[in-house]
Structure 1
Amino acid sequence: MPVKVSVIVPVYNPGTYIEDCVASLLRQSLPPDEYEVIFVDDGSTDGTPARLDALAAEHARVTVVHQENSGWSGKPRNVGIAAAKGEYVMFVDNDDYLGDEALERMYDYGVANGADVVIGKMAGRGRSVPVELFRRNHPRATVENAPLIDSLTPHKMFRRAFLDDIGLRFPEGRRRLEDHVFVTEAFLRADNVSVLSDYVCYYHVRRDDASNAGFQRFDPVGYFKNLREALDVVERYTEPGPVRDKLHRRWLRNEMVERMRGRRLLALPADYRKELFDEIHGVVVERFGPGAAAGLQPTQRIVAALIGADRADDVVAFAEWETSVALKAEPGSIRWEDGSLRIDLAAEYTSGGRPMTYPARPTGTRLEGPPKDIAEAVAWVEADSVARFGKATAELMLRERSSGAQYFQPVEFTREIVPAQEGERVRLVLRATAAVDPATAAGGTPPDAGLWDAFVRVKLGGWTKECRLGPVPRKGRTAGSAGLVGGRVVLPYWTERQGSLALDVDRATKRLGLGDLAPEKVTVTGDRLSAPLPLHVPGDTEVRLRFSGGTTSFDGPGTLSPSSDGSAAALEAVLPVGRLKGAAWRVALCPAPDADEPRFLALPFALRGGMGGVQVVRKPQPGVALRLARKARRVLGRVRGKAASRLKAWRR
């Protein structure tokens, strides 16, 4: 078979961090003879070279190229392109990993749309990834109709013939932003770019030791010299005007203004902060016209104006004020309706821990240049925010805790202006209701099993901020019952430490509350069993029951039907009376009867058949000796944990 995709992985001393990458590449759904993996070892000095050679000996689709250390990722990627046989090449970093169907989905999507570049949805584990770009699929995206320029990392799929035709390769040597130069030119010269957003293809990982190359402190002079090369690409392939300004704005915003804002700026040592400011000031004055800054958010425009005016101290002062601004989202009612979890919330910005207020009757003019002082800057931001009240938005995202995959949920919201300070000022509160449908919550598909945290995202004025939904007080914490929809059991709950809303998908057992069912509420009439369960179901739902006695077990069908108010479900089943004889038979429920790997939830009762029919009995409990042994193990575990903590503290 022709090779469809060549995956190129530059490698340098990853240690064990490469294992997730390797495993994901070997798990790909694309048939093994339709893709290849090329590891380019850039002079690693750990055990990685031997590990890769052994991998290549075991798997025919794996190739390893060893070379002397080149200092950065550009040359290894170019070497990989030269060795590639695939129709497309895909770049993966050695500490990241792919979704299991990434290559197959991205290749098929690229071929279907005639794409020179295919961008798969990204998830960040401990690091940020583009959000707006992946709201929906873009089969034909350009720098004009989609925020492509927000994604300049190389972790994409490129048609190899396209790279060869235009002679595009990565800049080499020890340098920064080689990916910006490469990807920007690809975007501007491609016939088509396709964005796949309905499946997480690439997991961007921040290592526990924070030693990813992109997280290391850089030399400002060299960094912004390399950044100018990316700007050169923009100017080579665009004409002066709105498109060029839009592209320039990406570097002005991300690489300059955002480095001079809030806690990110204040955390830097003063001498490094000054060196960084001076280099940024030079690029801003030298390369950007007024059109680039004009499209920034208000707070960003203020910082850009202060940078251009060479007012480093005022940039720091404005950053100190901005650190006081945060988002707060308070939960309201959480309930199941027609198979969807409906979440009410109220969100607003705070300043210094208190609700942020704005002038009720703002005055002032447009910002035409740098503000005369920070007081004027704050007043202008407040007035501009009031003018934008009508465009403020509230959204709710679900983010999978282990992978970072995130998806927006449908939200309806209203804007409420609340008087403050005797009518001289006002607050803006966004009241929203989100609908989480377990059948479609992950971009139109059911979410994977795991823990999903709820995040609220608000756009207002010059900010886009997000926070967890919560906290709620420890006393009386309850988030409602679990729902069974589309074979998924979804339990809303409040996290133990922060009291923030999260969803447990197909993992919870005891927290579902099934164990609270009293056996006397379970009835058997003839061969028909009936039991109330604390589960929401949108309609009659088929389940599977498993009856286990000793070493024998067998399954039978059951049905869950919603109660009149939808808060619970009635389990109904026709019992195989003739098989329920002898010892007590434990009962468990499988919410997804057609699942390849069925999951059973134990119910707190058992059945015993006899001459008088089937009787409900309490679920057999472990013997006294076993219960005491379990308790002893728990106590011993706590003692060991305390001893380990004390030893760790003593060593410090």
Structure 2
Amino acid sequence: MTASTNAPKVTVVVPAYNSGPHIEKLVTSLLSQSLPAGEFEVMFVDDGSTDSTGARLDELAAAHPHFRVLHIDNSGWPSRPRNLGVQHARGEYVFFADDDDWFGEEALERLYACATAHDADLVVGKMAGHRRSVPRELFRRNRFDATLENTPLIDSLTAHKLFRRSFLVAHDLRFPEGKRRLEDHVLVTRAFFLSRRTCVLADYVCYHHQRRVDAGNVTATALEPAGYFVNLREALDIVDAHTEPGPLRDRLHRRWLRNEMVSRLRGRRLLDAPADWVDQLVGEAQRVIRDRFAPGVAAGLPPLQRIISRLIEEGRTPDLRRLAQWEAAVRAAPTVQRVVQDGSTLTVTLTAELFFGDQPLVLTADGEQRLLVMPVDDVPADLRDATSRIKQSKLDVIARRRDTREEFFVPVTGTVELVPAGDGTLRLVQHGTARLDVGALNGGRSRGTWDLKARVTCCGWTEDAALPVAFRCTADGARPVAVAHQDSLRFRLRRAVARRVPESIRRAIRR
């Protein structure tokens, strides 16, 4: 079955296995695309589903000529369905989607326009995370000639991107098959090195990436440390094959040290994981750090993460746990001094710092050095040295659309101040002024209710906290009107009522 006599602009490849009702949001978003149905196709690859998924996909293909279905025996992993999807795709470009995620309405049109305007082999569209993280720094602005040298592309290694199909074929870019981990990392890392031009489209949320609430404890139950780190080494091999020892290789390796090792062995993630699993993970990570990473890899981390990396390398699991217990209480504590509205512009003046429970993050002076104070002994001063990182601390303000969780950075000017705490230590306080032009928010698509939050980045932490500021625009570009913010008693009562009272009763009350 074909979508039209002409080759489509884009093929969306979707592996599906026992998707059930979770696929419907994706389907709805595909049927709502601004790109005409005759200009793209959807290639569902049913990976041997044992429920009604296969029948549902056949039903969709029968109703929509640009939907196609390939049924295969169960492979147990998304790699083979994705590879077969590319093999059967007819589009000029291919986008890999998961069956429980969804697209923004203009996503395919915007991604394709960006790709053709810049003759790109690869386009990374902005993502919104739902119960999962996405690479926020990458999407601060559009980038039309992004490379691994000039852009944090390495932070985005999931497959959810637009690839030129001929580029995938010419370089035999395929996902490693079989039940394994980090198959995305292998293909995407190679693609970043091989791409003649890569673009980052950051001014529109193209893809909504979610972790389902019924997915279980993915970290502790689905990740088997020994096999996982075998696959991780494959990704490092690709970096090594395309770089020489030095700053670039160190920076790229740092992504795996930070995301796959340090972040899994800190704070609540460590405390919630089974002790034997933590021991295995520490052992595997310890070997990779010693075998594969040059000294510059950990040295480029901020102080907290340098310390965690050293504790892993030395196998100091009790100290990792002690540090995690302290870190689990970290929170951003912003204070809004003033909010001024001038037409469609909001100006918010605020300060913020990090707290651990009711105690602020503090530094101690040692000559010219400013050292992180933390509850772990026998940590060398050079690891705790935050001096060079103080000026790199950031206070961001984020506008977040309440219904879709789309996020956009608000321009902020600010300063960092070290304030004496009275006991010989110094508090690190950040001051900022955010100016939000609602008419320019989300490229002018400002209709809806928006909450503001602060994001504090300091010494290895990045923490968000809601601000007592929220507004609604009744139409795109309309003057913002203040509404109850997410931490207000009024908002919490409304949310509690919405969870407990049927919609029919709520409508009757409003009448």
Return the TM-score normalized by structure 2.
Answer: 0.89
- Give the C-alpha shift of residue 483 in structure 1: 7.9
Amino acid at match of 2:366: P
- Give the C-alpha shift of residue 262 in structure 1: 1.1
* 1:189 partnered with 2:194: yes
- Residues 439, 485 of structure 1: 8 Å contact kept: no
- Give the C-alpha shift of residue 228 in structure 1: 1.3
Amino acid at match of 2:143: H
**Closer/same/farther in 2, CA of residues 484 and 237 from structure 1, 3 Å limit:** same
- Give the C-alpha shift of residue 390 in structure 1: 3.2
Please list every run of 5 or more consecutive structure 2 residues that lacks an aligned counterpart in the other structure: 1-5, 493-504
Select 2:358's aligned residue among 353, 356, 375.
353
Deviations 1:597-639 (A, max 9, x none): xxxxxxxxxxxxxxxxxxxxxxxxxxxxxxxxxxxx78998xx
Residue in 1 that maps onto 2:450: 452
The 3-state SS of whatever aligns with 1:374 is coil
Amino acid at match of 1:430: Q
Q: Partners in 2 of 1:341 and 1:237 — Cα distance? A: 47
- Residues 348, 355 of structure 1: 8 Å contact kept: yes
**Closer/same/farther in 2, CA of residues 417 and 214 from structure 1, 3 Å limit:** closer
Amino acid at match of 1:219: E
* 1:433 partnered with 2:433: yes
Q: Does 1 or 2 have the higher relative contact order (CA < 8 Å, sep 6+)?
A: 2
**Closer/same/farther in 2, CA of residues 73 and 497 from structure 1, 3 Å limit:** same
Residue in 2 that maps onto 1:401: 402
Select 1:469's aligned residue among 434, 457, 467.
467
Larger Rg: 1
Correspondence list, 1:89-238, <5 A: 89-210=94-215, 217-238=222-243
Select 1:495's aligned residue among 485, 493, 506.
485
**Closer/same/farther in 2, CA of residues 432 and 364 from structure 1, 3 Å limit:** closer
Deviations 1:320-372 (A, max 9, x none): 2322332101222222124311222221111332233332x3348799xxx99
Correspondence list, 1:339-350, <5 A: 339-350=344-355
- Give the C-alpha shift of residue 416 in structure 1: 3.5
Q: Partners in 1 of 2:253 and 2:126 — Cα distance? A: 24
- Give the C-alpha shift of residue 494 in structure 1: 3.7
Q: Partners in 1 of 2:474 and 2:436 — Cα distance? A: 13
Correspondence list, 1:220-619, <5 A: 220-359=225-364, 361-363=365-367, 374-377=376-379, 384-421=385-422, 424-442=424-442, 444-449=443-448, 451-470=449-468, 487-495=477-485, 498=488
Superposed CA RMSD: 2.9
**Closer/same/farther in 2, CA of residues 469 and 5 from structure 1, 3 Å limit:** same
- Give the C-alpha shift of residue 305 in structure 1: 1.3
More helix by share: 2
The 3-state SS of whatever aligns with 1:292 is helix
- Give the C-alpha shift of residue 380 in structure 1: 6.2
Deviations 1:113-147 (A, max 9, x none): 11111110000112111101001111010000000
- Residues 324, 352 of structure 1: 8 Å contact kept: yes
**Closer/same/farther in 2, CA of residues 417 and 501 from structure 1, 3 Å limit:** farther
- Give the C-alpha shift of residue 165 in structure 1: 0.8
The 3-state SS of whatever aligns with 1:469 is strand
**Closer/same/farther in 2, CA of residues 223 and 379 from structure 1, 3 Å limit:** same
Please list every run of 5 or more consecutive structure 1 residues that lacks an aligned counterpart in the other structure: 471-478, 503-632, 638-652
The 3-state SS of whatever aligns with 2:386 is helix
Deviations 1:386-408 (A, max 9, x none): 55433322110011233221001
- Give the C-alpha shift of residue 151 in structure 1: 0.3
Q: Partners in 2 of 1:214 and 1:16 — Cα distance? A: 24
* 1:25 partnered with 2:30: yes
Amino acid at match of 2:404: S
**Closer/same/farther in 2, CA of residues 78 and 134 from structure 1, 3 Å limit:** same
Amino acid at match of 1:362: D
Q: Partners in 2 of 1:135 and 1:372 — Cα distance? A: 32
Q: Partners in 1 of 2:41 and 2:471 — Cα distance? A: 47
Return the TM-score normalized by structure 1.
Answer: 0.71
